[in-house]
Amino acid sequence: MSRKKIALIGGGQIGSILALLITQKELGDVVILDRPDFSDPMKGKALDIMALRPHGGYDVNLSGTGDYADIEGADVVVVTAGLPRKPGMTRDDLLEINLGIIRDVAENIQQYAPDAFVILTTNPLDAMVYAFYKISGLPKERVAGMAGALDSGRFRAFVSMETGLSSEDVSAIVLGGHGPTMIPLVRTATVGGVPLDALLSKEKIDAIADRTREAGTEVVKLLGNGSAYNSPAASCCEMVEAYLKDKKRVISSAALCEGEYGIDGYFMGVPCVIGSGGVEKILEFEMTAEEQAMLDKTLKAIIDTVKETGL
């Protein structure tokens, strides 16, 4: 059996770490594509990771390019191309520039890798995934935004940090848009099956939810020049692995809702079953009145941003 082919569109901070993580998990051969004028640095990044392989016995190949012909036939494409946030910027501030980039990327993926499962990280996430879906014409099952995996991961990390219990045992999900209106669902969060409110006070739980909503901004402020990249790369890797290994993982992802949670025609963070069919299913469950109000608010924020794309 030949190895799977994974194309990374954008070989910046997230793309570089993702290439490393994919190599360490031997998920497939990696092509790192960036702007044509960055073709040499991409070749350099690929060569650097190729040379690391003997240290871990990793048998996959990496190459760098600025030419879309090299992604031909990719099984998975992860799109991280786009400007990241700087301090003082919201994700929505990136819309105009990143929309132009996504348009170019979508047309090329449609031409060179129309059968791939495509995962996007470019911000403002929910609107950029919507734009990609509209422009590329790919089926909805094969287009997903990586945000919920990251936001849920942050939520789980903060619960682990606060309780001192293993992050492995924390199960928690964040729904909604990838922005300040996201919904860390405290009601269903558990540590080893024990409800969160049996372990932490309401004040502590509220503080964790608030910190989760602002976690990306907290990192942007501290870094001073760019946004988070290690945890986003790990989150993308989780989705790539779930798809390639047909794991049927339940991962919060921005998926096209057509009636689910009362949403029609927009991408939003919902619990998705990720397997060899891509986004195979959106899992639904009853929201409380308070949660439904939060969902309505996050959906409004998504719709407002999508409108700005003019698509």
Under rule CB under 6 A, residue 145 binds ligand APR: no
From candidates 45, 85, 142, 156, binder to ligand APR by CB under 6 A? 85
Cβ proximity to ligand APR: between 38 and 158 the closer is 38
Under rule CB under 6 A, residue 153 binds ligand APR: no
Cβ proximity to ligand APR: between 44 and 195 the closer is 44
From candidates 39, 80, 298, 305, binder to ligand APR by CB under 6 A? 80
Cβ atoms of 75 and 27 within 8 Å: the answer is no
Cβ proximity to ligand APR: between 86 and 204 the closer is 86
From candidates 4, 8, 13, 302, binder to ligand APR by CB under 6 A? 13
Under rule CB under 6 A, residue 242 binds ligand APR: no
Cβ proximity to ligand APR: between 191 and 219 the closer is 219
Beta carbon of residue 39, minimum distance to ligand APR (angstroms, whole number)? 11
From 178, 235, 243, 267, the catalytic residue: 178
CA atoms within 13 A on the CB side of 122: 32
Q: Which stretch binds ligand APR (CB under 6 A): 53-61, 67-75, 101-109, 271-279?
A: 101-109
Cβ proximity to ligand APR: between 77 and 205 the closer is 77
Beta carbon of residue 280, minimum distance to ligand APR (angstroms, whole number)? 25
Beta carbon of residue 101, minimum distance to ligand APR (angstroms, whole number)? 4
The 3-state secondary structure of the chain reads CCCCEEEEECCCHHHHHHHHHHHHHCCCEEEEECCHHHHHHHHHHHHHHHHHHHHHCCCCCEEEECCHHHHCCCCEEEECCCCCCCCCCCHHHHHHHHHHHHHHHHHHHHHHCCCCEEEECCCCHHHHHHHHHHHHCCCHHHEEECCHHHHHHHHHHHHHHHHCCCHHHEECCEEECCCCCCEECHHHCEECCEEHHHCCCHHHHHHHHHHHHCHHHHHHHHHCCCCCCHHHHHHHHHHHHHHHCCCCEEEEEEEEEECHHHCEEEEEEEEEEEECCEEEEECCCCCCHHHHHHHHHHHHHHHHHHHHHCC
Is there a catalytic annotation at residue 55?
no
From candidates 23, 65, 123, 235, binder to ligand APR by CB under 6 A? 123
From candidates 4, 6, 8, 10, binder to ligand APR by CB under 6 A? 10
Q: Which residues contact 59 (CB under 8 A, 6 or more apart)?
A: 26, 53
Cβ proximity to ligand APR: between 64 and 278 the closer is 64
Q: Which stretch binds ligand APR (CB under 6 A): 74-82, 240-248, 254-262, 288-296?
A: 74-82
Under rule CB under 6 A, residue 232 binds ligand APR: yes
From candidates 68, 132, 155, 229, binder to ligand APR by CB under 6 A? 229
Backbone angles phi, psi at 208, to 5 degrees: -65, -40
Residues 143 and 14: their CA atoms lie apart, in Å, by: 19
Under rule CB under 6 A, residue 84 binds ligand APR: yes
Cβ atoms of 79 and 63 within 8 Å: the answer is no
Interface residue list for ligand APR (CB under 6 A): 9-15, 34-35, 38, 80-85, 94, 98, 101, 104-105, 121-123, 226-227, 229, 232
Which residues are the active-site residues?
Answer: 178
